[in-house]
Amino acid sequence: MTTTTAKETSELFTPEIRAEIDRWIAKYPPEWKQSAVMGALMIVQENNGGWLTTELMDQVAAYLDMPPIAVYEVATFYSMYELKPVGKHKICVCTNVSCMTNKSDLIVEHLENKLGIGFGEVTEDGRFSLKEVECLGACGGAPMMQIGKQYYENLTPEIVDAILEGLE
């Protein structure tokens, strides 16, 4: 188990983050703090530029009275948790059947050429990363992608350009 220094604790796990995690804890029976682990990991990940470190997972474990291994299991099981750095904007492109038959491959190709990276990679300036995802439940807007919390549907290469330009 990795130990966390007091300095790191205070920097990575602020009172605001604790308050947010507490809101999740309050949703479940008092003896089931563990139920808040998914929410807690998401909050912590968001506050760390989109990915989880072992230290952060250990912190979550300590906060929820869970064995660290139980937290690692959750963090590795669910695909939205990132265990490596990602871009400031994580671009998730759906390539499942409805998107595929509406030419998601052209969207992928366009993004790869434009950004100079493939799936699972981050641009050198750290601004973008690309991820292939399964059906996001928006097949009526195929082809589609998600960046951060936002869905973008009915994509064409031109629309993709406009979307990326609009990002900070």
Partner 1 sequence: MANEVCLRTLDLERPWLIEQYQSRGGYQVLKKILSEKTAPDAIIEEVKRSGLRGRGGAGFPTGLKWSFISRNAPGQKYVVCNSDEGEPGTFKDRDILRYNPHQLIEGMVIAGYAIGASRGYNYIRGEFWEPYERFEQALEEAREAGFLGENILGSGFDFELHSHLGAGAYICGEETALLESIEGKKGQPRYKPPFPAHFGLYGCPTIINNTESLASIPMIMEKGGEWFADIGVKNSGGSKLFSISGNINNPGVFEIPMGTPFSELLEMAGGMKDGRKIKAVIPGGSSAPVIPGEQMMALNMDYDSIAGAGSMLGSGAVIVLDDSNCMVKILERMSYFYHEESCGQCTPCREGTGWLYRIVHRIETGQGRQEDLDLLDDVADKISGKTICALGDAAAMPVQGMLRHFRHEFQYHIDHKRCMVGVG
Identified binder of partner 1 from the candidate list 66, 111, 115, 130, rule CB under 8 A: 66
In 64-143, alpha helices (H): 68-77, 97-100, 104-115
Query: Is 135 among the residues that bind partner 1 (CB under 8 A)?
Result: yes
Residues from 92 through 131 that contact partner 1 (CB under 8 A): 92, 95-98, 100-102
Measuring CA to CA, which residue among 133, 76, 81 is closest to residue 104? 133
Query: Is 53 among the residues that bind partner 1 (CB under 8 A)?
Result: no
Q: What tokens were used for 24?
A: 């999740």
Quick check: 26 and 4 in contact, CB under 8 A? no
Query: Is 135 among the residues that bind ligand FES (CB under 6 A)?
Result: yes
Beta strands 128-133 and 89-94: pairing type? parallel
C-alpha pair distances (Å), 55 with each of 28, 43, 138, 152:
25, 14, 35, 33
Flag whether 99 is marked binding.
yes
Residues from 86 through 115 that contact ligand FES (CB under 6 A): 94, 96-99
Sign of CA dihedral 11, 17, 19, 25: negative
Flag whether 135 is marked binding.
yes
Measuring CA to CA, which residue among 122, 127, 7 is closest to residue 55? 7
Query: Is 34 among the residues that bind partner 1 (CB under 8 A)?
Result: yes
Query: Is 147 among the residues that bind ligand FES (CB under 6 A)?
Result: no
What are the start-end ranges of the E strands in the chain? Answer: 89-94, 128-133, 145-147, 150-152
Which CB, 15 or 140, lies closer to ligand FES?
140
Identify which range of 2-10, 19-27, 31-39, 133-141 contacts ligand FES by CB under 6 A. Answer: 133-141
Q: Which residues bind ligand FES (CB under 6 A)?
A: 94, 96-99, 135-136, 138-139, 142, 144
Q: Which residues bind partner 1 (CB under 8 A)?
A: 27-29, 32, 34-39, 41-42, 64, 66, 70, 73-74, 77-81, 92, 95-98, 100-102, 133-142, 146, 149-151
